[in-house]
């Protein structure tokens, strides 16, 4: 849902004077006509002028995109494989990779097409409303993006708090600090970083994020191989659930997790950071991102599932440091990996918060008084601080990292990353119904709509079942 402190104006021709592009819907036509406003009107939109300023290059977009997709959620890949097994796990991982690359490429082409027509869209919600010619689509995208923002914000803070807890437990096994106290520490750091004013200002932070994800991926892969070959190696069992119904639910939950891992849901906002003209630049950014994906995803999934089988935790670092028995990897390796994960999570939390910041600032900021004026600085500090505190509070209250990933994937990423891009492309380019492109797009839409519905049901079911295993503000993350 949209946070209560955000007021979203209705999309009507008469009330959208601040929007750079206004879709005007004619009763006698199914094709929307678009009115381009003069620059003076665009300048009134503080969300675009401040948060989504367009100054970046394609490699800056590549840094943003890689940070949005390649994060510590890849440590959940062995956990997803345990619900699918080797064969289906490889197949689903590969299909998700191919489909998401294709999906993001199609969306970038739609954005390029609109830009060439004089309608450069910098927000997903405006793109969807313009191309599909429906005001309700504007609010649908806001709802889904808000669900993603909150889910990722909560998940990153929770996982970062768990990383701090892991380091603390190694240094002080019987220490008094609880998980919620580490979550409070992470939330404080997030509040400080949230004051970076624009998406573009995260470019160097996200370049470091790309290097960090490569670093901890290599460390985790090496640790899993060592653990699998050691004399203390756990018994490996790759069997699935014995009950057919449980196996089906586990499979769809795993597919939802994979969708969350590959998803981003903010590609138009990332492309908005590129200095115009943006045509063709996102393809280079996608190639950069998916090179990193290929290197990290497969190596982490294979090594983790090979070492631990169906005993893999939702965070593979926990499998490497079991509650009983010796650690299965050198302390310095795990410590360094945890530090890398912790640092990258700070960047990821900020990337996914940009849509929320843009929505808030569009209504609270006055673009005519400057980004760092007292008039704009104070509301920005207050609203962004409250948003991060809310995410931290929910993370401390319901520590379900694996379950949150599945729910966000089914409810958020599947509609925005697997369904809408295909629909937007078909509506924009209008491929013939007899063409291969049309039927590929339609097939992806139908299949992933079904997967999303079943995945959402499975994820909610697992959340309900796991609710019996935790206490409010507990000190253990439930797998």
Q: Name the residue among 52, 54, 60, 16 with its Cα closest to residue 34.
A: 16
Q: Is 332 within the bounds of a domain?
A: yes
Any bridge partners for residue 56, and if so which?
274
* pLDDT under 70: residue ranges of the chain: 1-44, 399-407, 409-410, 467-479
pLDDT number for residue 107: 94
Answer whether 145's CB lies under 8 Å from 398's CB.
no
Answer whether 235's CB lies under 8 Å from 313's CB.
no
pLDDT number for residue 39: 37
pLDDT number for residue 207: 96
Q: Is 312 within the bounds of a domain?
A: yes
Q: Is 128 within the bounds of a domain?
A: yes
The radius of gyration of the chain from alpha carbons, rounded to an integer in Å, stands at 22
Q: Is the peptide bond before 13 cis (omega within 30 degrees of 0)?
A: no
Answer whether 103's CB lies under 8 Å from 282's CB.
no
Count of Cβ atoms closer than 10 Å to residue 334 Cβ:
22
Q: Is 261 within the bounds of a domain?
A: yes
Q: Is 47 within the bounds of a domain?
A: no
What is the domain count for the chain?
A: 1
Tokens representing residue 92 in the block: 């689903």
pLDDT number for residue 405: 62
* DSSP run (H or E) holding 382: helix 374-397
Q: Is 56 within the bounds of a domain?
A: no
Q: Is 335 within the bounds of a domain?
A: yes
Q: Spell out the residues 6+ positions from residue 167 whose beta carbon is closer than 8 angstroms to its own.
A: 335, 338, 339
29 vs 12: CA distance, rounded Å: 16
Place of tokens 């580490």: 182
Count of Cβ atoms closer than 10 Å to residue 136 Cβ:
11
Q: What CATH number did the domain enclosing 366 receive?
A: 1.20.1740.10
Domain span holding position 375: 79-469
Q: Is 96 within the bounds of a domain?
A: yes
* DSSP run (H or E) holding 309: none
| Burial (CB count within 10 angstroms: exposed 0-12, middle 13-18, buried 19+), residue 268 | buried
284 vs 351: CA distance, rounded Å: 20
119 vs 111: CA distance, rounded Å: 9
DSSP code string of 237-250: -----SSHHHHHHH
Helix, strand, coil % in the chain, rounded to nearest 5: 70, 0, 25
Answer whether 154's CB lies under 8 Å from 477's CB.
no
In 398-479, which residue ranges form alpha helices assigned H by DSSP? 401-408, 420-429, 436-466
355 vs 76: CA distance, rounded Å: 25
Tokens representing residue 267 in the block: 């590609």
pLDDT number for residue 138: 85
């Amino acid at each position: 849902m949209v946070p209560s402190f955000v007021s979203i104006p209705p999309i009507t021709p008469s009330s959208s004077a601040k929007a750079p592009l206004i879709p005007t819907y004619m009763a006698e036509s199914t094709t929307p006509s678009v009115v381009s406003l003069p620059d003076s009107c665009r300048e009134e939109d503080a969300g675009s002028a401040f948060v989504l300023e367009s100054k970046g290059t394609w490699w800056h977009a590549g840094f943003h995109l890689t940070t949005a997709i390649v994060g510590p959620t890849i440590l959940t890949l062995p956990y997803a494989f345990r619900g699918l097994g080797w064969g289906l796990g490889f197949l689903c991982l590969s299909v998700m990779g191919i489909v998401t690359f294709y999906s993001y490429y199609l969306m970038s082409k739609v954005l390029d097409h609109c830009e060439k027509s004089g309608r450069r869209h910098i927000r997903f919600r405006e793109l969807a409303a313009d191309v599909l010619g429906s005001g309700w689509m504007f609010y649908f995208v806001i709802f889904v993006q808000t669900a993603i923002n909150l889910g990722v914000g909560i998940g990153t803070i929770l996982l970062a708090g768990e990383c701090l807890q892991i380091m603390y437990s190694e240094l002080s096994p019987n220490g008094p600090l609880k998980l919620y106290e580490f979550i409070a520490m992470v939330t404080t750091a997030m509040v400080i970083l949230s004051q970076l004013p624009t998406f573009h200002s995260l470019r160097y932070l996200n370049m470091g994020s790309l290097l960090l994800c490569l670093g901890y991926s290599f460390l985790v892969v090496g640790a899993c191989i060592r653990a699998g070959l050691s004399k203390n190696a756990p018994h490996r069992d790759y069997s699935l659930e014995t009950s057919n119904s449980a196996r089906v639910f586990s499979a769809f939950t795993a597919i939802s997790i994979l969708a969350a891992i590959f998803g981003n849901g903010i590609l138009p906002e990332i492309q908005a950071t590129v200095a115009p003209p943006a045509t063709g630049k996102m393809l280079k950014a996608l190639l950069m991102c998916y090179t990193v994906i290929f290197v990290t995803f497969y190596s982490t999934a294979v090594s983790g599932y090979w070492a631990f089988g169906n005993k893999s935790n939702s965070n593979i670092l926990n499998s490497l440091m079991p509650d009983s028995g010796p650690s299965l990897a050198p302390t310095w390796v795990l410590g360094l990996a945890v530090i890398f994960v912790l640092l990258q999570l700070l960047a990821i939390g900020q990337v996914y918060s940009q849509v929320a910041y843009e929505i808030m600032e569009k209504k609270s900021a006055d673009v005519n008084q400057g980004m760092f004026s007292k008039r704009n600085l104070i509301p920005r500090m207050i609203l962004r601080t409250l948003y991060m505190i809310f995410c931290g509070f929910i993370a401390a209250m319901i520590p379900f990292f694996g379950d949150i990933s599945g729910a966000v994937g089914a409810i958020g990423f599947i509609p925005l990353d697997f369904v809408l891009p295909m629909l937007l492309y078909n509506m924009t380019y209008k491929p013939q119904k007899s063409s291969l492109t049309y039927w590929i797009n339609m097939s992806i839409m139908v299949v992933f709509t079904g997967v999303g519905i079943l995945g959402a049901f499975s994820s909610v079911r697992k959340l309900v079942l796991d609710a019996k295993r935790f206490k409010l503000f507990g000190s253990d993350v439930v797998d």
